[in-house]
Amino acid sequence: MTFMKLSPHFDLAEFTTSQEATRRGIDNTPPPEAIDNLRRTANGLEGIRILLGVPIIISSGYRSLELNRALGSKDTSQHRTGQAVDFTAPGFGGPRHVADRIIDAGIGYDQIILEYPNSPSGGWVHCSFVPEGARRQALFIDGSGTRPLYA
């Protein structure tokens, strides 16, 4: 895959590199129609990076169908279209603080999910961006299932 800058601080490789894909020999190259979505997502992350004032570490961005299935995710995942990203922001007090700050700031996300914050890894934030009609849905996922973040 050739180097492609999606936004000032994020490039295509950050959204497509996957240890699982490498282990399984899965091609995780996004199709051309996903590139505009990836640019939108990267620009959404730029706003989050500015808001938080710390660098962002992407753990999962675009996922090919084969990779998405290997990870046990639904075929309808926004990762499949380049509209979603999972990340952490080391130095900002953990994923719950990150999610709360994004929600309070009014950033135009479609969906924000606090994922597995009580796991040994400390969890991560899933955030998605759509071209229009953002739902601003906030959810919490752990071993017990999915529910509203503020329930």
CA dist 46 and 31 (Å) reads: 23
- Return the CATH fold of 12-141: Muramoyl-pentapeptide Carboxypeptidase; domain 2 (3.30.1380)
pTM confidence score: 0.94
10-residue mean pLDDT series, the chain (151 residues): 88 96 96 96 97 96 97 96 97 94 95 94 96 95 94 71
Residues 68-101: tens digit of each pLDDT? 999 999 999 999 999 999 999 999 989 999 999 9
Q: What is the pLDDT of residue 48?
A: 98
